[in-house]
């Protein structure tokens, strides 16, 4: 039975060394499946490939910085954007109502005299 334990021990040591070696690499090594699906545009010249790769990385980083999104926390059903009743989202901090029900007499409301 001793040889079986030795085989198991060696296989475990090999597996852990492979895992630590693969996790010790840079962050880009984690994205290899995405790159494998993209066709290569290099002409075979090493310098061209490096420059194209650097340009692609710079563009991806710029896009990551520019992407604006609404988080799911904002879209939750029970989230109340303004706790004051009658105030709009934009007028929550100020004391007055954004759309009051009582308006003054003006030409638009057609309640003032001699405006027709």
In this model, does residue 31 exceed pLDDT 70? no
Q: Which domain holds residue 73?
A: 41-93
**Any domain includes 114:** no
Distance CA 61, CA 50 (A): 16
Q: How many structural domains compose the chain? A: 1
Residue 99: partners with Cβ closer than 8 Å, 6 or more residues away: 88
Q: What is the mean pLDDT of residues 59-67?
A: 75
Higher per-residue pLDDT: 22 or 16 = 16
The answer to whether residue 56 sits within a structural domain is yes
**Average pLDDT of the segment spanning 58-82:** 73
């Amino acid at each position: 039975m001793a040889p079986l334990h030795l085989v198991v021990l060696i296989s475990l040591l090999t597996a852990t060394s492979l895992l630590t070696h693969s996790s010790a690499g840079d962050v880009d090594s984690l994205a290899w499946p995405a790159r494998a699906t993209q066709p290569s545009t290099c002409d075979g010249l090493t310098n061209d490939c490096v420059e194209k790769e650097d340009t692609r990385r710079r563009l991806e980083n710029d896009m990551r910085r520019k992407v604006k999104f609404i988080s799911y926390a904002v879209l939750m059903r029970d989230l109340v954007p303004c706790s004051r009743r009658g105030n709009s989202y934009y007028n929550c901090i100020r004391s007055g109502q954004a759309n009051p029900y009582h308006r003054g007499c003006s030409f638009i409301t057609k309640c003032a005299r001699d405006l027709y």
